[in-house]
Amino acid sequence: MDALENEVLEWLVEDLSLGDLPDVIGTIASTIKYNSCQGATDQEWRDAQAMCVVEEAGEFIGEYRRLRGFARRAGDKDAMLSELADVVIAAMVMFWNLDEDPHAAIQGKLRKIINRGWVNKDEQ
Ligand SMILES: [Mg+2]
């Protein structure tokens, strides 16, 4: 990756937009919390949500392996994509739960990815 490519990627990250996704997720999350977690403390709700992120990742990989033929049951692309969407939604709800800004976290992580260097297989 040359300096110009990195500069372009940095520019794209600078202009990153999540649109209204965080607000929509926040509204849905507060509705879920109100309707399904009454009596739970905020910490219990956060703990449940943290586990949900991993649970959804597990459901995604289950559907992915079915789709790739690594399981007894045949896979379905729509089911796999639905589980992948669950991973993103669960992660966004977790940001909301932590009262943290997903935009800033994602932007910061993308900057790290761009700047940490790439595997150069020619040198191996
Ligand atoms: Mg799911």
DSSP-assigned letters across all residues of 66-112: HHTT-SSSPP-HHHHHHHHHHHHHHHHHHHHHTT--HHHHHHHHHHH
Predicted confidence at residue 63, as pLDDT, reads 98
Please compute the mean of the pLDDT values over residues 68-77 and round it to a whole number.
95
Within 10 Å of residue 84's Cβ, how many Cβ atoms? 17
Protein residues placing their CB within 5 Å of the ion ligand 1: 56, 59, 83, 86
pLDDT per residue as tens digits for the range 28-56: 999 988 888 788 999 999 999 999 999 99
When pLDDT is cut at 50, 70 and 90, the band that residue 1 belongs to is low
Are the C-beta atoms of residues 87 and 52 closer than 8 Å to each other?
Answer: no
* CATH architecture, domain 21-26+38-113: Orthogonal Bundle (1.10)
**Does residue 30 sit in helix, strand or coil?**
helix
Predicted confidence at residue 37, as pLDDT, reads 78
Predicted confidence at residue 66, as pLDDT, reads 97
Distance 115 CA to ligand 1 centre (A): 33
Distance 103 CA to ligand 1 centre (A): 23
Looking at every residue in the chain, the average pLDDT score rounds to 92
